[in-house]
Structure 1
Amino acid sequence: MKKTILASALGLAALGAHAQSSVTLYGIVDAGIGYQSSSTSLGSNAGGRSVVKMAQGIWAGSRFGFKGSEDLGGGTRAIFQLEEGYNSATGAESTSGLMFNRAAFVGLANQQYGSLTMGRQYAPYYTLLAPYSPTTWLTGAYGAHPGDLDSMDTIYRINNSILYTSPNFAGFTFSGMYALGGVAGSTGAGQSWSVAANYIHGPIGLAVGFERLNNATSGGGAWGANSTANSNGEPGVSGITNGFQTAQAQQRFAVTGGYTFNSQWDISASYSNVQYVAGAGSKFFSTQIWNTGGIVLHYKPLTALDLAAGYSYTRATSANGITSAASYQQFTVSQYYSLSKRTGLYLVEAYQRAGGQTLGTNGAGNIINATADIGDGQNSAPSSSRSQVAGAVGIVHRF
């Protein structure tokens, strides 16, 4: 159970006589054993070997955090959240040098007018699409679309962001975000923005979202430190996007939706269009586009057991000298058994097959065979071949 602690007990502030204030400590610990075939370092196309290793954060990223609110009267609350991701196998920060890498924001919320927050946050593109994304039942590590190309998992948290989210209007919610790059003399450099909306009514749900992430480095190249989507490097580098990491901007449009048949069966589907925009400083010369479609079927035969299976297909455009465009087919299945409301055991298995060609690390002129990169759990060590098999068994506990 989450532990609610009076803010005064933490020494954060004295409570006013008229206001109620609270702080909640919460977290997740996730650890297990994982298998990955044909592993190699990112950017290498040499032969690799399979590996069995400690796996962590597979079902849910290990984290701890604080969130709280203060009643300001008139239905308005001050709110904040600080959340740190960590490696449960080593205790290290999940992102080096970022203490609260998952969230760090403060703002105001009102049931009638919505919420306005500022800090490091998820984009609306992620939060409003999430209910029907493939990661809900397949995990991000093995079920996110190849390399988490379309950012339907949790790779992107946006620095310097201002975020507004509306209240729920008869099932309809919308949200918008703008993040300031802070580059002197160039307002647009490094900025990010996102808009999204979803509608949930009974068994049916639908969401649509867009995001644009600009490189703070003029004309593209290595992502500058003032890029609001920058967390120690270019966002979202994987075996899928490795040759295009010097983009001037990244742009995503996606639609997700789902239908619940009954208490045992539900289905969700998603489509995304991802563009890596070339600039004068990029190592590729024309915008690269990927289109992805996916479907997930979830079955709950017992109160304590959840089973799911999913398939996705990604196709790149023929650009930058490539005549045989890259494609990726991914199959993922998962099994989750609840020991209690807070603790569960899981198994996740996945297979991906790549085809066609893409660009290597050196960009244009370095055309290589596309290689597999399942979900986003293998981004630092994609396959050395067109095929990849991965799986994990583990335990997750929430507090």
Structure 2
Amino acid sequence: MNSLKRARARALALSCLPLAGALLPAGASAQSSVTLYGVVDNAFAYSSNQKGHSNFYMSQGNLQASKFGLLGSEDIGGGTKTIFRLESGFNSLTGAQSSAGYMFNRQAYVGLTNDRYGTVTLGRQYTPYFQMVGALGPTGVLTGATGAHPGDLDALDTTLRLNNSVTYLSPTIAGLQFSAQYGLGGVPGSIASGSQFSAAIRYDYQPFAVAAGYVKLKDIATSAALGTFAVNSPVNSGYATAHSSQLFAAAARYNLRDLMVGINYSNVQYTPGSGSLFTSEGVFNTYGVISTYRITPAVTVGAGYSYTQASKANGITDPARYHQISLEQTYNLSTRTTLYALEAYQHAHGKTLVAAGSTGTSITDAVAVVGDSQNTTPSSGPSQFVGMVGLRHAF
């Protein structure tokens, strides 16, 4: 009897094998990988003027944002892979999340990639504008903390992400690659409401690279697709109630052995709507140059200069202008650990539109706000110097 039961159990198990194979995760049979990665970056910092006072303090995420993430792929055959990324930013001085309410505030997506046909991903993602132009612009060479254009008003640093987005990235053909992204607003009965769009193109030829990108942001205050977009610095806070914003940027760089030189340009437009606290379109144009030089395999120095000018609009006849100089020195202790020093100086002229509570705007003297690190601690006057010395470790 026992032998009969064992035989029946064996037959049942064998009959279930095809079903078990179908239910098992594909990773059990297909080639797959998951990588844990991250950065921890802390520094001592000094600012000559933060709201009227000099300050010596600790700062984090300066050379690179402190973060950790999971990056995975699975080969599903035919030259196609499933890919995913989950990436979370954190404050490495306190352990707090970078963005309250977001476990993976930086990126969270899944998709398919094929060397021949390109890559499609869905989720919370950076824009093609940032991925292609930002990589060649100021923050792709100098850190965003002190090298981003004032207040990062053109979002060439990591301040712009889209939720509910689908992105296509083409394969590279003869050095040319392009990408497009659409963020779904999720408004019933109106597909266009709250939607976002970005596209970019890049061309590489030997030591030369050039890229151009575009972003159209709609329904800034209410869109479910617009994950993050900074309009909170004294440079552009007067346009926080804009109905829509349009960003265009281009960048190019050339490498000659250990020397790199680059140029960049951006145009940012804020368009009012029925609920906006300003009446006419605000425009900012920024022109920049960057350069790095590798002194030894371990030591690299970099520098950048940018000039930003606002348009005459909303009662301003003497629009704001910002001059910024940024310097960077890095020493690689190993392939993963880097000592660094950052310095930046900014001087502002003219008048700017700023938020005055939740019910209005006002015209005031433009104040200095270095890079992307001083948005909440701007100078009380036209000048600001920031210096940092820190340690970054990547894993």
- Tell me the TM-score normalised to structure 2 length: 0.91
Q: Encode CA deviations 1:271-324: one digit per residue, 9 max, x unaligned.
A: 000001111110000110000000011111111001011100001100000000
Residue of structure 2 equivalent to 1:57: 61
Cα–Cα, structure 1 residues 288 and 253, in superposed 2: closer, same or farther, change >3 Å? same
Residue of structure 2 equivalent to 1:15: 27
Kindly, what percent of the aligned residue pairs are identical?
A: 47
Measured in 2, the distance between the counterparts of 1:303 and 1:34 equals 26
Measured in 2, the distance between the counterparts of 1:385 and 1:278 equals 28
Residue of structure 2 equivalent to 1:122: 126
Residue of structure 2 equivalent to 1:261: 256
Q: Is the 8 A contact 2:164 2:184 kept in 1?
A: yes
Residue of structure 1 equivalent to 2:40: 29
Letter paired with 1:211: V
Whether 1:73 and 2:77 are equivalent positions in the alignment is yes
Residue of structure 1 aligned with 2:300, choices 286, 306, 327: 306
Residue of structure 1 equivalent to 2:240: 245
Q: Is the 8 A contact 2:238 2:361 kept in 1?
A: no
Residue of structure 2 aligned with 1:332, choices 326, 333, 345: 326
Residue of structure 2 equivalent to 1:228: 225
Q: What displacement does 1:53 show?
A: 1.1
Whether 1:316 and 2:310 are equivalent positions in the alignment is yes
Whether 1:380 and 2:376 are equivalent positions in the alignment is yes
Measured in 2, the distance between the counterparts of 1:379 and 1:247 equals 19
Map of 1:136-175 to 2, 5 A cutoff? 136-175=140-179
Measured in 1, the distance between the counterparts of 2:361 and 2:72 equals 52
Q: What displacement does 1:188 show?
A: 2.4
Measured in 2, the distance between the counterparts of 1:291 and 1:328 equals 10
SS at match of 2:83: strand
Q: Is the 8 A contact 2:153 2:230 kept in 1?
A: no
Measured in 1, the distance between the counterparts of 2:74 and 2:285 equals 44
Residue of structure 2 equivalent to 1:368: 364
Whether 1:94 and 2:119 are equivalent positions in the alignment is no
Residue of structure 2 equivalent to 1:131: 135
- Tell me the TM-score normalised to structure 1 length: 0.90
Larger Rg: 2
Q: What displacement does 1:365 show?
A: 6.0
Q: What displacement does 1:14 show?
A: 6.1
Q: What displacement does 1:22 show?
A: 1.1
Measured in 2, the distance between the counterparts of 1:183 and 1:391 equals 45
Residue of structure 1 aligned with 2:202, choices 194, 198, 201: 198
Q: Encode CA deviations 1:17-50: one digit per residue, 9 max, x unaligned.
A: 3x1111110110001111112212xxxxxxx211
Say how many residue pairs are matched: 370
Measured in 1, the distance between the counterparts of 2:394 and 2:310 equals 38
SS at match of 1:130: helix
Letter paired with 2:253: G
Residue of structure 1 equivalent to 2:273: 279
Residue of structure 2 equivalent to 1:186: 190
Measured in 2, the distance between the counterparts of 1:365 and 1:308 equals 38
Measured in 2, the distance between the counterparts of 1:66 and 1:230 equals 20
Higher helix share: 2
SS at match of 1:142: helix
Can you give the 5+ residue segments of structure 2 that lack an aligned partner in the other structure? 1-23
Can you give the 5+ residue segments of structure 1 that lack an aligned partner in the other structure? 1-11, 41-47, 217-222
Letter paired with 2:387: G
Q: What displacement does 1:380 show?
A: 1.3
Cα–Cα, structure 1 residues 16 and 332, in superposed 2: closer, same or farther, change >3 Å? same
Letter paired with 1:292: T
Letter paired with 1:24: T
Q: Is the 8 A contact 2:124 2:227 kept in 1?
A: no
- Structure 1 window deviating more from structure 2 (73-82 vs 182-191): it is 182-191
Q: Encode CA deviations 1:187-237: one digit per residue, 9 max, x unaligned.
A: 322211001000011011100000011125xxxxxx12x342244xx6342
SS at match of 2:157: coil
SS at match of 1:319: coil
